[in-house]
Amino acid sequence: MDPRDFRRVAGRFATGVAVVSTVADGVDHAMTVNAFSSVSLEPLLVLFCAEKIARFHAAVLTAGRWAVSVLPESAQDVSQWFATRGRPLGAHLGDWRFERGPMTGAAIFSGALASLECRTHAVHDGGDHSIVVGEVLGAHAPETEDRPLLYYGGRYQRLT
């Protein structure tokens, strides 16, 4: 099957958009993901997928602890920044406001619809990606009227 056809078909599944962040050897790392899902209630597990050649991949596996920030539709610029390859490490988190997660030390972005802090539970081979399964250590969902940032058909979308 042609990978372009596969991407077009897979792109028909609407997903939310999140940023996963970690701190490895004192350096912040973050990456936009749309391959994120809850996995289990007992124990509490979630997963995300990380491309093996991405700098973030090595960082999150080294750190073993990470945070997920579920983005509101107003944060498309945040998503685009953390989806950009080759950002300089010194300014890796850019000018985006965040707080450090109390359980992981990882960045949790201001305005997130929800956030989770996790420790790596398992890593599975997923072809050119790794499937990183995390045990949820803490979760937060502030009261908000904001709507989620969505990705569908190869572009950002909004609920109407």
pLDDT digits (tens, 9 = 90+) for 7-47: 899 889 999 999 999 999 999 999 999 999 999 999 999 99
Cα–Cα–Cα angle for 132, 75, 107, rounded to 5 degrees: 50
pLDDT the model gives residue 16: 95
pLDDT the model gives residue 80: 94
C-alpha–C-alpha distance, residues 27 and 122, integer Å = 23
Q: Where is 36: in which H helix or E strand?
A: strand 36-41
pLDDT the model gives residue 19: 97
Domains and CATH numbers, the chain: 17-153 (2.30.110.10)
Burial of 43 (0-12, 13-18, 19+ CB in 10 A): exposed
C-alpha–C-alpha distance, residues 14 and 32, integer Å = 15
pLDDT the model gives residue 110: 93
pLDDT the model gives residue 96: 87
pLDDT the model gives residue 45: 98
C-alpha–C-alpha distance, residues 86 and 66, integer Å = 20
DSSP secondary structure letters along 93-155: TTT--EEE-TTT--EEETT-SEEEEEEEEEEEEETTEEEEEEEEEEEE-------B-EEETTE
Low-confidence ranges of the chain (pLDDT < 70): 90
pLDDT the model gives residue 85: 86
Does residue 66 contact residue 60 with C-beta atoms inside 8 Å?
A: yes
Does residue 23 contact residue 92 with C-beta atoms inside 8 Å?
A: no
